[in-house]
Structure 1
Amino acid sequence: MEHISRIFSALDLVFGAALSAFLGVSLASREMGKSDLVLLALGLISISISIINSQTDIIGLLSNAVPWKSFTISIVGFGSAGFWFSYLTDQPAVIWVILGVWGIMYFSIFAIRKAVRA
């Protein structure tokens, strides 16, 4: 069961690095205002809540009880992070692709794990 936790950690590392690199390049090429900093903070808070709740989901998955409240908060966190981050760049589609693939990978692991247990 420990391998599922490692998979989630690897996903966080890879997609977090991709998102950070893209946002870093986008933000370095323009002047940052106070509103941009607020949007960045909201996006970081949203994605942090989503990742923390996803880690809670892993614990629930391993004990065969996925907490749907936490699962829903994770989905909302990814969506709101994409919403806030998309205002910070000239190419918002890239943000949605990174977050979309990240989210699909997260939640497909849940589906595969549930199917294997059934």
Structure 2
Amino acid sequence: MRIRPAAVAAPSPPDETLSDARAALRDSTAVGLGFVPLGLAFGALCVQSGLDWWWAGLSAALVFGGSFEFLLIGLVVAMTPPASIAIAAFMVNVRHVFYGLSFPLHRVRGRLGRTYSTFAL
């Protein structure tokens, strides 16, 4: 029995890659615009809660779950202990595990691909 080597995909030409990037931008623009009012509301909540303006950007950069960002503002303003914040973060974001369980992992190749697919879900 002869084993054939796996086929390696040829790199895409630059024009095709640029075309794909434009199509992806066009497809995701509506979703991206939907986050503008949400971001404005979150920034207003931060400022009205008495926090500095940079808290909005910092929490957006460090917090994985968007719903926890809104909860975090209340916890920070109430000066909640870090251990309680960590437990709350776990409890709010543990729902992502169940999303990953329903993902069709049998369609993804390799352990690394499955791990990333579950994370990126």
TM-score by length of 2: 0.26
Q: Which has the larger radius of gyration?
A: 2
Q: Relative contact order, CA 8 A, sep 6+: which one is greater?
A: 1
TM-score by length of 1: 0.26
More helix by share: 1
